[in-house]
Amino acid sequence: MQILFGFLLTVVFTQRFATLDAADRNIYVITLLLGASTTGALVGTVTFHRLVSGHRLKPQTVLWASRLALTGVVLLLGTVASALLLILRLALNGSAAPWVVTALVLWFVVCWFVLPAWVLHRYSSSD
């Protein structure tokens, strides 16, 4: 995430950025804001643990760090999807970009959410 966010921060300073149309600039701004939010949530898990650790709040720490991590993963999905949309709109002249991004988002959802949920359901119900 940090590499993607770092890249996003530099894009505005390239010559190509000036040639983007309004829609692509809006996608860029949304991607940048999602990237910043993702970084905040994912780094927040570490800082939360560091600041709360040692205060005998382990169950609460695990719960809130887990919530921050899940929020970060959802934001990461949005960041990657919007970055892919921007790049593929430019690379494919906009034609197939929404379809490719939709397929990739579905793949991420299956890998990141559906498969773990299925495993939890499958192996928790057999206990």
What confidence score (pLDDT) does residue 93 get? 87
Angle at 9 between CA 33 and CA 39, to 5 degrees: 50
For the stretch 88-109, pLDDT in tens is 999 998 789 999 999 999 999 9
Structural domain for 95, as ranges: 2-124
Per the prediction, the chain carries an average pLDDT of 93
Q: State the pTM of this model.
A: 0.89
**What is the rounded CA–CA span in Å between residue 78 and residue 42?**
14
Percent of the chain residues topping a pLDDT of 90: 85
Counting the structural domains of the chain, the total is 1
